[in-house]
Amino acid sequence: MKLTGAEIIIECLKEQGVNVVFGYPGGAALNIYDALYKHQNEIKHYLTSHEQHASHAADGYSRASGKVGVVFTTSGPGATNIVTGIATAYMDSVPVVAITGQVPTNLLGKDSFQEVDITGITMPITKHNFIVKDVNTLADTIRRAFEIAQSGRPGPVLVDVCKDVTAQYAEYERKEPKKIKKKVLATQEEIEKAIELINSSQRPFICSGGGVISSEASEELIEFVEKINAPVATTLMGVGGFPSTHPNYTGLVGMHGTRASNYAVSHCDLLIAVGARFSDRVISKVDRFAPNAKIIHIDIDPAEIDKNVSTDIALVGDVKQILKILIENVQKKTSTEWIEMIYEWKRNYPLSYPQDGKLHPQYVVERISALTNNDAIITTEVGQNQIWAAQFYKYQRPRQFISSGGLGTMGYGFGAAIGAKIARPDKVVIDIAGDGSFRMNCGELATAVHYNIPVIVALLNNGVLGMVRQWQDLFYGKRFSQTTLDRPPDFVKLAEAYGALGIRVTSPDEVDSAILKALEAGRPTVIDFVIDKDEKALPIVPPGAPIDEIID
């Protein structure tokens, strides 16, 4: 049958099982939105207050569900406004398909109204991108975009569609989506060498990253850990991939890692990185990272091998499949000497904060965890709030912690929370936020209220740009340049102005009742937890120092 390009886009989304999109319309996307109007009972569109947060919502939807998130925008500023969201998804390997309107083909390259070269702009931050100038190639391009977004190491793909293409007709025939194949590229020889290293090690240590979550390998990781009786730390992106209540869990590793994690890296004789990319926030001083260890790196992306840390054995391929092979072939370890040393470090150096009767953010996160039975989906903004959320909530499963790890995007968490709640309406969703980040995205209260999306913003309000101030305090001689936010708004009144519930908390004895009130409200809520401006996210490794030189 013959359909317009806009209708072909909608039909291709339906082929891929898409029933939710986020976006913001405009002139170059009018035909797409007109076609969407005719299919509004099949595909629900969520209109955000800003395109950037539409892209964050698509990202959060993807992370919470494991599906591809989809965002629509128009050309020019509509497209450039999602660049930050695309970069966020790219850095954290999140499958998102962005479909942008573009000026008609006869106006390309003429500095036309709302024309930008969005494929050129996003080339470094997408797995691939396309500009469609021929309606006959449109359907296969959309299908290819979804395939690329999900295959191998996931990531964002952008499809830019000229406006005249969306109005032209072409033959359309429905096709079933291609199945994404999970591959193991590592050779038998490499696998055998890895098994030999694991069997001979006396002090193995596992660093678990976001690849464990994206490959759905959490159960295999637990089985592998228990077979070789190894301690496990996670990167920020790996939080939730291994249960934080498991006795072998040591917490975060790296700049904000626990002493148990960082000491374990420094004393292990074998480091196994599983779906982790050895970012600078994990390794810090490269020549002092895991100095006594052989290193096995398991990752889907061959480009990550030996990029930041030299490895002894690389096992390239799907983490889930590789872990299954290792589980079947490695020997069970029964010695307890190494794990007992880990337990002693955990006992001697627990995460802590002052017990002085004041309202501390760590206590707030602990109470959120307890009152949600450790079962909520937690999104974060970026900074101290992000670290406290990763440290003090007890995560039980993958896709429970959603945060901008690689790009560190302030303003990410609220849009992501909206997307996550739409993906998982059965779960409580809480954005643990800082006041600096919330100023950037608070307009999305209108979105949450309009669609009655009952997300909770737990605002850790210290009146400063907390993490930047912390660095100024520790490393810049207390020169607090432009980090004090001594200005409006009153966040409770702001929430109420949007039609949300606003609650203010200033003391520890108000915390539980405020959280319970928010959980029972069934509508968007902002809890303004007023904390001290000099709270610190600790431990911290000074920049450039070895990871076992820790300030806490």
Please give the pLDDT value at position 294.
98
Strand partners, 129: 158
Per-residue confidence at 81, pLDDT binned at 50, 70, 90?
very high
The answer to whether residue 467 is catalytic is yes
d(CA 345, CA 347): 5
Please give the pLDDT value at position 250.
98
Tens digit of each residue's pLDDT (9 = 90 or more) over 514-534: 999 999 999 999 999 999 999
Residue type, 142: I
pTM assigned to the model: 0.97
Q: Closest Cα partner for 92 from 305, 301, 324? A: 301
Strands in 58-156 per DSSP E: 69-73, 96-102, 128-132
429-465 burial, b for 16+ CB within 10 Å, e for fewer?
A: bbbbbbbbbbbbbbebbbbbbebebbbbbbbbbbbbb
Please give the pLDDT value at position 151.
97
**Contacting residues for 73 by C-beta, under 8 A, at least 6 apart:** 23, 24, 26, 29, 51, 54, 79, 81, 82, 98, 99, 100, 101
Please give the pLDDT value at position 32.
98
d(CA 514, CA 96): 35
The answer to whether residue 40 is catalytic is no
- Determine contact, residues 289/380, Cβ cutoff 8 Å: no
d(CA 233, CA 249): 6
The answer to whether residue 51 is catalytic is yes
**Contacting residues for 248 by C-beta, under 8 A, at least 6 apart:** 225, 226, 229, 230, 231, 232, 339, 342
Q: Closest Cα partner for 73 from 40, 123, 13, 25? A: 25
- Determine contact, residues 203/172, Cβ cutoff 8 Å: no
Round the average pLDDT of the chain to a whole number and report it: 98
Please compute the mean of the pLDDT values over residues 75-89 and round it to a whole number. 98
Please compute the mean of the pLDDT values over residues 324-351 and round it to a whole number. 97
Annotated catalytic residue: which of 14, 15, 44, 114? Answer: 114
Per-residue confidence at 76, pLDDT binned at 50, 70, 90?
very high
Please give the pLDDT value at position 370.
98
User: Residue 374 region, left (φ>0) first, then alpha (ψ -120 to 50), else beta?
Assistant: left
Annotated catalytic residue: which of 11, 16, 22, 51? Answer: 51
Sign of torsion over alpha carbons 87, 91, 96, 97: positive
Distances (CA, A) of 266 to 207, 258, 283, 422: 13, 12, 11, 42
The answer to whether residue 444 is catalytic is no
Tens digit of each residue's pLDDT (9 = 90 or more) over 124-170: 999 999 999 999 999 999 999 999 999 999 999 999 999 999 999 99
Which DSSP symbol is given to 540? Answer: B
Tens digit of each residue's pLDDT (9 = 90 or more) over 101-131: 999 999 999 999 999 999 999 999 999 999 9
Helix (H) / strand (E) element for 345: namely helix 337-348
d(CA 251, CA 259): 9
Annotated catalytic residue: which of 38, 42, 113, 192? Answer: 113
Please give the pLDDT value at position 157.
99
Please give the pLDDT value at position 33.
98
Please compute the mean of the pLDDT values over residues 203-220 and round it to a whole number. 98
Tens digit of each residue's pLDDT (9 = 90 or more) over 262-319: 999 999 999 999 999 999 999 999 999 999 999 999 999 999 999 999 999 999 999 9
CA 543 to chain centre: 23
Q: Closest Cα partner for 465 from 385, 353, 359? A: 385
Map out the domains of the chain with their CATH numbers. Answer: 2-171 (3.40.50.970), 188-349 (3.40.50.1220), 361-530 (3.40.50.970)
Helix (H) / strand (E) element for 526: namely strand 525-530
Please give the pLDDT value at position 281.
94
State both tokens at 120: 């050129």
Tens digit of each residue's pLDDT (9 = 90 or more) over 416-473: 999 999 999 999 999 999 999 999 999 999 999 999 999 999 999 999 999 999 999 9
3-state SS class at 189: helix
Strands in 253-383 per DSSP E: 270-274, 294-299, 313-316, 377-380
Please give the pLDDT value at position 218.
98
Annotated catalytic residue: which of 102, 115, 130, 163? Answer: 163
Q: Tell me what percent of the residues of the chain surpass a pLDDT of 70.
A: 100
Residue identified by tokens 């406006």 is: 163
Sign of torsion over alpha carbons 76, 78, 81, 83: negative
Please give the pLDDT value at position 285.
93
